[in-house]
Amino acid sequence: MTARFVVLVSGRGSNLDALQRACEDGRVPARVVRVVSNDPGAPALARSRERGIDAVAVPHRSCRDRDEFDARIAETVRAAEPDWVLLAGFMRVLGPRFLTAFPGRILNIHPSLLPSFPGLHTHRRALAAGVRFHGCTVHLVDATLDGGPIVAQAVVPVLAGDDEDRLAARVLEQEHLLYPRVARWAAEGRIRIEGGRVHVEGEGAAPPPAARYP
């Protein structure tokens, strides 16, 4: 069975690329059937079209308010009949009209070890806080900002001499491993919520990290 993914993006789309490659080479039994962006100028949209993927803009600026944006984006996503909706660098908060249309079927990747550092500028804030470990999280999306049930995380040590860019680059490398891995679990129908926590069938309580560091 091949699952149907719709991916929501706002910018460069490197996580979309990682997901797309993993679907193409068979690591993830799914197909990206549509890419949707709130920004018509997003490089991720142009690249998707070059590859022949259906790519649609729903500009938030053309909507009266958040409710209309939610309704229009929900309709655009629903029309592609997705099994899962994957947010990959999607920079708008989605409201109840969208969330209730795809209950328990929306994933997001966030560049920090949640619940630390929800929101923006996570690498800068991690460095300022002096944490020794940083990383990324894939979680189910609910109405809280970067707050839904955690599916998997990858840990990245903060090294002496790190600045925001270096740390961000090492976290991004892990994002590109972690998201396809979780996407595979989703496509295989192995993600369940029990008592508010995510259980991944066949993976035990704490799935191993995506990569090791010395």
Catalytic residues: 110
Neighbours of 105 (CB within 10 A): 16
Q: Is 89 in the site for ligand GRF (CB under 6 A)?
A: yes
Instruction: Classify residue 16 as exposed, middle or buried by CB count within 10 Å of its CB (0-12, 13-18, 19+).
Output: buried
Q: Is 15 in the site for ligand GRF (CB under 6 A)?
A: yes
Please state the closest distance from residue 17 (CB atom) to ligand GRF, in A. 8
**Around 92, how many Cα atoms within 13 Å sit in the side-chain half-sphere?**
21
Please state the closest distance from residue 16 (CB atom) to ligand GRF, in A. 6
**SS3 at position 56:** strand
Q: Is 109 in the site for ligand GRF (CB under 6 A)?
A: yes
- DSSP string over 155-211: EEEPPTT--HHHHHHHHHHHHHHHHHHHHHHHHTT-EEEETTEEEETTS-SSPPPSS
Q: Is 116 in the site for ligand GRF (CB under 6 A)?
A: no
Residue with tokens 């069975």: 1
User: Phi and psi dihedrals of 61, rounded to 5?
Assistant: -70, -20
**Identified binder of ligand GRF from the candidate list 3, 6, 7, 13, rule CB under 6 A:** 13
Q: Is 110 in the site for ligand GRF (CB under 6 A)?
A: yes
**Identified binder of ligand GRF from the candidate list 2, 12, 163, 208, rule CB under 6 A:** 12
Please state the closest distance from residue 112 (CB atom) to ligand GRF, in A. 9
- Only one of the segments 12-20, 45-53, 191-199, 201-209 lies at the binding site for ligand GRF (rule: CB under 6 A); that segment is 12-20
Chain residues binding ligand GRF by CB under 6 A are 11-15, 88-89, 109-111, 172, 175
